[in-house]
Amino acid sequence: MGLMAEDKKGAQALSSNSSQSATSQETSSAATTTRRSAGRQTSRATTTRTAKTRSTTKSAAKTASKTTRRTRAAKPAATVDFHHGEVPAQTLPVTDPAQFGRIAVMDITPNEESGRYPARVELGEPFTVTAQVFIEGRTKVGATAVLRNHRGKEMARVPMTCTNPGLDRWQATLAAGEHSDLKPWEDGFAAIKRQLGEWTVTIEGWEDTYTSWLHDAAIKVKVGDDVENALETGSNLLARWAKTKDAGLNAAQRKELAEAAATMADKTLDAKDRLAAATSETVTGLHATNPLRDGISPSQPQRFLVQRPKSSFAAWYQFFPRSEGAYVDPTTGKIVQGTLKTSVTGLERAKAEGFDIVYLPPIFPIGVTNRKGKNNTLVAGPDDPGSPFGIGSELGGHDTVDPLLGDMDDFKALTAKAHELGLEIALDFALQCSPDHPWVKAHPEWFRHKPDGSIAFAENPPKKYQDIYPIDFNADMPGIEKEVERVMELWIEAGVTIFRVDNPHTKPVRFWQDVIAAVTKRHPEVLFLAEAFTRPGMMRALSYVGFTQSHCYFPWRNTKKELAEYFEETNGDDGYYQHNTFWPTTPDILTAYVRDNGIAGHAVRAVLAAMGSPSWGIYNGFELIENRQRPGFEEQIDNEKYEIKVRNWSDAGKYGIAELLTNLNRIRREHVSLFGYHNLTVLETSDPNILAFARHTPAELTGTGKPETLIVVVNLDGHDAHQSMVHVELPDFGIDPARGAHVRDELTGREFDWSWDNFVSLAPWADVAHILTVEY
């Protein structure tokens, strides 16, 4: 039936010249009238949509308006030759977001929660977009991803690749801007800041007329069927391609296509030679780079929030200022605590080990009422300093430096020193109070009261936290928001660029949404880390509202299967929203694996954390193998949260972990293009104790013109040696199977030749891991 219908159209096209001319004029006039009407409809619809969008967000409105103007500009030609060969697909006006264009574009990823929350990427971080793109019948289509910055300027136009023809799935990898290591306080950061904000990606589907024609023409020439019509159609196609503005051809390229069209039209030549003119290296190359795109059908723009350097790629180092530089007074036998001034040694250690963010737990005055003693005992001794999370005393609250540590000038001096070393300061923000906090008297409505009039302390039955009053947000959330914004502004002015927020999941999501929006509106460079170990929905919601990074369940993923699944989850589409930061241990977490696997276990977890996520962190003392648990709890005994630690850092050289941390951070810096949340692939291994994965970035996104690949192989057993075969799907990583890969171990300097299947042997007393650079 379809062929018969096409034959009827062909017969109608063979009517008299005068009839053709009249029909052509009438159709052209009707098409022009229809386009004008559609243009007016598009304008009215655009005005309505823009007004609605403006009520939601001004920036989104600007983007929608610019995109709509671009879409309207892509009108069909003023006249269409209906009687000379095939009619090319036309760009259809779209007056409603639910309308399809000439080509169907659907299911664009990432596009979480129907596009209400933009995907997040770091400036210069490679990321992948996919979409379903298709047309009716057996006609061929193509797809292009168009990247525009927050001002609507086109920054990249990238051809998409069909990765699954059966599902019409197309894919492209992009990068918003170029990677930078500039810090917020450094010269030149203003230029970085101007690039931040909501960028968009538009997927343009289009009819691939050239490929569709070539498929049929090659068959017809081969079997000698309707050859002249096929070649004339191709000649007309190339000639039209040469004149198409959208193709972006230069004069030389237009000439090449015109000459190829002329050769195809030359009936004195052999049909195969004529066809060869359309399949030359030049023409096929232009099809790849500057194709003829008929019926261009743009999708609605997909938003991407482009954030500043270190929003994704970060190495954190945590220490307690009161322990840094602490010592035992030989005359009294008592501990003399460290201060902000002595904390410079912690900064220098973090710098030496290659970290770029120093995270300080709360440095505010500590309450006296119900102060906790060592190991969380209910009664504090006379010399117990209390938990820094029991915030607030008569000396002040969240806006005050604990006098035992110093004063605000000392803190500003510390941040200035950190900046001199190239380190950022992240400050803990625990939104909770001791019973002695000034807020308790000034704003009693901010706390939950029992029927007897007393304020309820924090508890998670049967656990009780008598030294902490949680905030109640029901009575005056706007007032609490305003105060928190004031306090954060104070610390930002003192040099803080990141807030690590304690237990944000115990506060309303809307509260954080308001606070983060207010802070980042004034300071878009400020980042937020969520210390949230809770249900997936809450963790995802916190990422939606602005938490740039997040603690996660990495410490409890230990088997090969658990780690493989978690790595793919962290580095998959979830990575556009939730940036998992891998910490092997924290003051709150010391797992059985770290406890039981000694030095090798610490090395294994460090390699997995540093290589498995673009963002990772170390709690100091890890270098000293501090791995004794408090009986019955997954945390350290003699926990630093409740006492001051006196450490002998000269012992760090005995274990080799500090050296390993330094090497891991060096590898990360030298291969920065590999550490995004979207380019990790788990590799097949034959031993259940050997985990292998690869990070790969194609040549066009490395900045060097060459692809980059790291292959990481880890023995998860801290006690026994294991051997395994590791399978590498060579073409997936740009490796020529005929040549194989020459790889270099970044940890030892040893070199190997790898192919599809490769033997490895790792022993915990020698090498717990290989980190292999593929040399192209």
Annotated binding-site residues read: 372, 432, 467, 503, 641-642
The rounded distance, in Å, linking the Cα atoms of 655 and 759 is 28
The rounded distance, in Å, linking the Cα atoms of 572 and 187 is 34
Contacts of 468 by beta carbon, 8 Å cutoff, 6+ apart: 389, 390, 432, 433, 434, 457, 458
From residue 254, how far is each of 243, 276, 678 by CA, in Å?
Answer: 7, 18, 38
Considering 356, 502, 574, 626, which one is annotated as catalytic?
502
Residue 17: other Cβ atoms inside 10 A: 8
The rounded distance, in Å, linking the Cα atoms of 380 and 368 is 9
Backbone angles phi, psi at 309, to 5 degrees: -50, 140
Helix or strand run (H / E) with residue 330 = none
Q: What is the dihedral of CA 115, 116, 121, 127, to 10 degrees?
A: -10
The rounded distance, in Å, linking the Cα atoms of 471 and 463 is 18
Contacts of 20 by beta carbon, 8 Å cutoff, 6+ apart: 13, 83
Residue 708 among the catalytic residues: no
Helix (H, G, I), strand (E, B) or coil at 95: coil
Structure tokens at 156: 């990249």
From residue 34, how far is each of 70, 88, 93 by CA, in Å?
Answer: 19, 18, 10
Residue 502 among the catalytic residues: yes
Where does 523-670 have alpha helices with state H? 536-544, 560-570, 592-596, 598-612, 657-670
**DSSP letters of 192-219?**
HHTT-EEEEEEEEEEE-HHHHHHHHHHH
- Which of 497, 243, 461, 221 is CA-nearest to residue 358? 497
Helix or strand run (H / E) with residue 685 = strand 680-685
Tell me if 636 sits within 8 A of 323, measured CB to CB: no
Report helix, strand and coil shares of the chain as percent, to nearest 5: 40, 25, 40
* Binding site residue list for alpha-maltose 1-phosphate: 372, 432, 467, 503, 641-642
Structure tokens at 509: 């999501």
Considering 356, 514, 525, 531, which one is annotated as catalytic?
531
Q: Which residues belong to the active site?
A: 502, 531
